[in-house]
Structure 1
Amino acid sequence: MPVDFGRTARDYARYRTAFPPELFARLAAAGIGRTGQRVVDLGTGTGVLARDLAAAGCVVTGVDLAPELLDEARRQDAAAGLEVAYRVAPAEDTGLPGGVWDVVCAGQSWHWFDRERVAAEARRLLVAGGAVTICTRDYLVVPGNVCAVSEELVLAHNPGWPLAGSSGTHPEWGAELAAAGFDDVGTVCFDVDVPFTHDAWRGRMRSSNGVGASLPDAGVAAFDADLSALLRERFPEEPLMVPHRIWALIARRRRRVATGA
């Protein structure tokens, strides 16, 4: 499925929710997000993760393929009074100097990469003992809830959509990182309810890879009209309390082990 999030940059910037403070508290307990740390944020999008790390005092460079998303990131950075450097490049080949970064992170983007290549790039970028952290925030599909019926509607408009029904966890990524030269692999996982107005939920779903990033404009408009009617009929009360799973994988670049007699 061809996906271009640049086409939905405005909705993505406005309606994608931030990671909650609890995640950053847990990352800080693992030594990630400390003042002065040099951070590369892969697939930074509109800079959601990058901005929070910059606010914590990190020196952050965000990397993304979509200039439109980076334009939105810069607007939000300026509004927040924060500074993040941005670079248009693939996550698998950033062109950044190697062996000088304390943290490589990715927020809601790792599944889009060539994971073998991006793990190798993360290892190249990091100092020995540096951390890679992959963060996700996925709404949870429960039979009959607003997430489930919204995804059913996406599939009605885009039958080839392959990413419905995420569990919000990705344990296989830990094994992949271990094979790529990382150790001390651990995870963070907790659930939160996020309030959405009808308009905000429509925007969130328009920013989906199965809608705004892949359907033609007329298809997006038709989906949005159907979702608006569905919400009025089946979920009239606002705000909608939408369950989300916050999950993060943390691993360290393996230090060289001395060998010899």
Structure 2
Amino acid sequence: MQVDFGRTSSDYAKHRAGFPDAFFTRLAREGVLRPGLRAVDVGTGTGTVARGLARHGCAVTALDVSAPMLESARGLATEAGLRIDFHQAPAERTSLPSNAFDLFVAGQCWHWFDRPAAAREAARLLVPGGRLVIAHFDWLVPAGSVVEATEALIDTFNPGPPAAYLAFGQGLGVYPQWFRDIADAGFTGLESFTFDVVVPYTHESWRGRIRANARVGASLPPAEIVRFDAELAALLSERFPQAPLAVPHRVFALMATRP
């Protein structure tokens, strides 16, 4: 599957829910997040994590490989009145100086990277004692839910979930394999937390959220995206007419320290 999130950057910016405020509050409570930190956010996408870090007083550098995603991220940061230094670069080869950051964050993106190379780059970028956070914000799939029905429809257009889904998260919203990635790169003091939240969606915003999915707007041909969206609209009207839709999500975060 050839995935290009730049093709769906407008839907991504408008409809993909970023990490909830409770995620940043929890990082602060864990001592990972505080004002004044120099933070780098890799795989920033439309900048949801970068904006959260900036709102909490960090000096943020944010990276992504997609120019359209970065354009959306810059626009959203400007609208929010936040100063963030955006660069187009991969997480594995950032070209940023060594020992330049106190905090390294990868939100909703670690599975897309060459993970060992990204972990080594994180260790290079961080100062001794610097902290790393790998985080995900995934929907859950209760039986009979709108998520289950939507995933079944996606399968008819783009069969089979991404390899990363099968090998790692498996629909549970937890990622034990990431612990080995980070330990192998020399990080210590590994800890994790999870918690669940419910995200409300209108029918329109759920359709937009799904168009921004890797297996829909980021990979299907344009005509197929239109056809998929029409079928999803019909499915929602027939089987899930209530609004808003209450979609359960799980936050997962792995934290570690660079010796």
Q: Same fold (TM over 0.5)?
A: yes
Contact 1:26 1:188 in 2 (8 A): no
Say whether 1:198 aligns with 2:187: no
Q: Deviations over 1:168-190 (max 9, x none)?
A: 11011112211210011111100
In structure 2, what is the Cα distance between the partners aligned to 1:244 and 1:199? 19
In structure 2, what is the Cα distance between the partners aligned to 1:11 and 1:228? 16
In structure 1, what is the Cα distance between the partners aligned to 2:197 and 2:156? 28
- Highest CA radius of gyration, 1 or 2? 1
Say whether 1:249 aligns with 2:254: yes
Q: Name the % identity.
A: 50
User: Secondary structure of the equivalent of 2:137?
Assistant: strand
Contact 1:131 1:253 in 2 (8 A): yes
- Cα RMSD (Å): 1.0
**How far did 1:106 drift?**
0.9
In structure 1, what is the Cα distance between the partners aligned to 2:160 and 2:52? 35
**Residue among 183, 186, 193 paired with 1:181:** 186
In structure 2, what is the Cα distance between the partners aligned to 1:219 and 1:140? 25
Tell me which residue corresponds to 1:115.
115
User: Secondary structure of the equivalent of 2:175?
Assistant: coil
Contact 1:205 1:211 in 2 (8 A): yes
Identify which range, 8-17 or 31-40, moves more after superposition.
31-40
In structure 2, what is the Cα distance between the partners aligned to 1:101 and 1:180? 17
Amino acid at match of 1:235: F
**Residue among 234, 241, 248 paired with 1:236:** 241
Alignment of 1:115-194 (within 5 A): 115-162=115-162, 163=165, 166-194=171-199
User: Secondary structure of the equivalent of 2:93?
Assistant: coil
Say whether 1:42 aligns with 2:42: yes
Tell me which residue corresponds to 2:31.
31
**How far did 1:160 drift?**
4.4
User: Secondary structure of the equivalent of 1:230?
Assistant: helix
Instruction: Provide the TM-score with structure 1 as the length reference.
Output: 0.95
Q: Deviations over 1:201-224 (max 9, x none)?
A: 000000000000000111111110
Tell me which residue corresponds to 2:226.
221
**How far did 1:33 drift?**
2.4
Say whether 1:7 aligns with 2:7: yes
Tell me which residue corresponds to 2:99.
99
Contact 1:132 1:250 in 2 (8 A): yes
Listed as ranges, the gaps of 5+ residues in structure 2 are none
Aligned length: 254
Say whether 1:72 aligns with 2:72: yes
**How far did 1:161 drift?**
3.9
Amino acid at match of 2:206: W
Contact 1:33 1:57 in 2 (8 A): no
Q: Deviations over 1:223-259 (max 9, x none)?
A: 10000000000000000000000111100112xxxxx
Tell me which residue corresponds to 1:259.
none
In structure 2, what is the Cα distance between the partners aligned to 1:121 and 1:95? 10
Q: Deviations over 1:118-164 (max 9, x none)?
A: 00000000001111101111000112111111011011001144247
User: Secondary structure of the equivalent of 2:57?
Assistant: coil
In structure 1, what is the Cα distance between the partners aligned to 2:159 and 2:197? 29
Identify which range, 161-170 or 193-202, moves more after superposition.
161-170
